[in-house]
Amino acid sequence: MRSKTAATVLDLMNINVNRLSGGIKAYRLWMKEQLDTVTIPELYVLNGHTGNGKTKILQTLKSQGYPVINLEQLASHRGSIFGQIGLEPTNQRMFDLQLGEALIHYQQAPYIIIEGESSRIGRIIIPERFFNQKEISRQLFITLPIEKRIRLILSDYHPETYHDQFVEAFSIIKRRIHTPVAHRIDKALQSHDYHSVIRDLLDYYYDPRYIHSTVYPEALITTIEASSLEEAIVQVKQHLPVS
């Protein structure tokens, strides 16, 4: 709600504004109701193993005018145990607010492109209704060569800048990794060999976990195998409805 001083200044400047009855609290309550009732357009879900460029594909499509909701961007978290490194995670209320606004913005869109996420992104819980819709939507599974994936992860996470945070995050999952491999990752971290760190984490932690956590009916799955991020973007576009 505007203060009297602010209202006077705006009036003098001949700027027409609407006063929000009940303030931001009322707006948040209204937006929460919208998340339970707003129409969700058809979803196209970019899926695939860690490092397959899903976020970068979303960013590119968004810049080209495609209807995109980047859930990780709204959460300010990349979704893994390393996901908040270099970021300041959003709280649940702000996430819900931004998601609701995005859905309202795209009410007239024929579809929305999102990334496949679990029900949680860090500490954020994706609203159940939206998550359930994602689970029954078309899944575009992106597959890039392992070396491309490693380079994309290194460019996203900047482990050389956030070395201590990487060591701390790895300590949380270390016990879940076969002991000889965990020791090898430890040594690679100590020598700042991040390429080897990422390769082992993909081979022995993230890829096996991903395989067990993503089960969809075959009818919903479209596999996109590409040799580069650019080729993957072209193929994704080919599988979207023609406007």
The Cα-based distances of 34 to 31, 92, 209 in angstroms read: 5, 15, 34
The model's pTM is: 0.86
Residue 11 falls inside a structural domain: no
The domain that holds 149 is classified in CATH as: 3.40.50
Residue 80 falls inside a structural domain: yes
Residue 4 in this model has a pLDDT that exceeds 80: no
Residue 183 falls inside a structural domain: yes
Give the pLDDT score at 2.
Answer: 45
Q: What is the DSSP string of 57-120?
A: HHHHHHHTT--B--HHHHHTS-SSTTTTTTS-PPPHHHHHHHHHHHHHHTTT-SEEEEE---SE
Q: What is the pLDDT of residues 113-152, one digit of tens each?
A: 999 999 999 999 999 999 999 999 999 999 999 999 999 9
Residue 211 in this model has a pLDDT that exceeds 80: no
Total structural domains within the chain: 1
The stretch 177-201 carries a mean pLDDT of 97
- pLDDT band at residue 98 using 50, 70 and 90 as cut-offs: very high
Give the pLDDT score at 11.
Answer: 56
Domain that holds residue 130: 24-238
Question: Angle at CA 92, nearest 5°, toward 119 and 121?
Answer: 30
- pLDDT band at residue 30 using 50, 70 and 90 as cut-offs: confident
Residue 18 falls inside a structural domain: no
User: Does residue 143 contact residue 202 with C-beta atoms inside 8 Å?
Assistant: no
Residue 8 falls inside a structural domain: no
Hey, what amino acid is at 243?
Answer: S
Residue 1 falls inside a structural domain: no
